[in-house]
Amino acid sequence: MITESTIVAIAGLIAVIALLFLTITKFRWHVFLALLVPILLFGLVPGIDRSLFIEAFEQGFGRTVQSIAVVIVLGSVLAEALKHTGGIERITLTMIRAVGPKHMPLALTLSGFVIGIAIFSDIGYVILNPLVHSAALQTGLNMSVMSTGLVGAMQLTHAMVPPTPGPLAAVALVGADIGKVILFGSIATAIGSLAGWGFAMLLGPRLESPPSAEFVGQSFIERGLESELPSAASAFAPILIPLLLIAGQSVAAFSLPEGHIVNVAMLYLGWPVVALGIGILLAYRNTRRDQAAARTGQWVEDALRTSAMIIVVTGLGGSLSQILRQTPAVDAIAQAMASTGLPSIFLPFVLGIVGNIITGSTTVGVITAASIAAPMMATLGLSPEATMLAGAAGSIIIKYVNSSYFWVCTSLSRMPLRSALLSFGGVTLVNGMAAMAVVYAMWVAGWV
């Protein structure tokens, strides 16, 4: 044990969390420094065995990073490819045609559900914003009705369904089965996304949020370049095929003997490194000749730049988890949670909410919840999958003025601040609560 004192352990944990949130919110530190410095200060607390502390820090960091680093980079490369090849607009156009132009808000919500799995939410909204304004002008609906479901759905799957970095990080921190997380996370986010669409249809018409003509004519479709977009199959394949391969590995392992030929094949094809590699190859098939140099150069560099922060922050989360595992704080907090009479699954959910509300970052919320809850899973009777999904559901509640995603969506939608707070803050609350209700139901049923 790093320390035998429960008081020292709990006080140290509280101090780490308090300093993390303080340095991010008040002093605007980068999350890497904001997490690293408090952990290092924890090691200076009297009563800490520093040799064991250093060993736990290095062990936790190394084990976590080795399991996710390459996967996060590959996921980021895939996102870059989808962004540059028009796949995002093709997915949206396909959804519009599937449900009909009269149901544009639903079509955009369903698009957000798919798009958020593969790319960062703010990038997705930047790409689709011109189409959202044009659709609102054509249908006579306001931006609150048209964009709210999209904004919520993208954030929800971005938080809960790999291979986006946040859920990948949480999966590594708690040791969850990524295939199960994809399966059950997709169920929870699908229901949560539809709840967000219902919220938009109910509240949106009551808010002032007129669309703007300044964005009209900027999308591929409005510029008459639809023929340059990939086909629907080519646009969906880079997202869906890796997901099916990864989830298929878990299904095969559960339902078939270990030596079965399908199980043997899926062991490799469903490995996230291979599955995402296949997704990238499929996405690169949609590139144009003038993108040949960028796809093997600039896109990869941009993906590495995006991935670096997530990888090192997740590694620090792994260090914190390993340190906590070797203190009495784990049992003390778990017992305190049990004494409240509340279902234990709400602990990671609340941790995700706190992390997001204070920092404005879904990724920080996901990592915070997973880092702190991971050592307590056995005591709380939680599976890794339930822990990860509950924390992720909490990590989107709620998006408001301290969130960069909130400001991207608010500024591009040209929505008044009051309307944006009610629309985007409201939908992320509804999305997170609905998704958590589904996760709770699956946990009670013994699915996760």
pTM of the predicted model over 0.85:
yes
If pLDDT is split at 50, 70 and 90, which confidence band does 217 have? Answer: confident
Least confident among 213-227, 270-284, 308-322: 213-227
Nearest partner of 284 among 76, 84, 93, 71, judged by Cα: 84
State the chain's mean pLDDT as an integer: 93
Interatomic CA distance for residues 360 and 413, integer angstroms: 19
Compute the average pLDDT of residues 250-277.
91
H helices, E strands: number in the chain: 22, 0
Predicted confidence at residue 80, as pLDDT, reads: 92
Q: Work out the average pLDDT over 104-112.
A: 96
Give the mean model confidence (pLDDT) for residues 381-403: 95
Report which DSSP code applies to 308. Answer: H
State how far the alpha carbon of 358 is from the alpha carbons of 24, 85, 159, 164, 425, in Å.
9, 36, 17, 22, 14
Query: Residues 166-178: what's their mean pLDDT?
Result: 94
Average pLDDT of the residues in 187-197:
98
Cβ within 8 Å of residue 265, ≥6 positions away: none
> Higher pLDDT residue, 26 or 345?
345
Query: Which band of pLDDT confidence, cut at 50, 70 and 90, is reported for residue 370?
Result: very high
The rounded percent of the chain whose pLDDT value lies above 90 is 78
| pLDDT recorded at residue 337 | 85
pLDDT at 284 over 80: yes
324-355: pLDDT as tens digits: 999 998 888 888 888 888 999 999 999 999 99
Mean pLDDT of 422-426: 97
Query: Is residue 225 pLDDT above 80, yes or no?
Result: no
Give the pLDDT band (50/70/90) at residue 256.
Answer: confident
Residue 20: pLDDT over 80: yes
CB 362 within 8 A of CB 431: no
DSSP state of 230: P
Q: What is the pLDDT of residue 203?
A: 96
Kindly list the domain boundaries of the chain, sorted by start residue. Answer: 70-292+340-444
Query: Quick check: 206 pLDDT over 90?
Result: yes
Name the band, by pLDDT with cuts 50, 70 and 90, for residue 149.
Answer: very high
Q: State the pLDDT confidence band at 143, using cuts at 50, 70 and 90.
A: very high
Nearest residue to 184 (alpha-carbon basis) of 120, 251, 118, 237: 251
Q: What is the predicted pLDDT for the residue at 222?
A: 66
Give the per-residue pLDDT at 67: 84
Average confidence (pLDDT) over 236-245 = 96
State yes or no: pLDDT of 245 exceeds 90. Answer: yes
Number of C-beta neighbours around residue 404 at 10 A: 12
Residue 43 in tokens: 């090691």
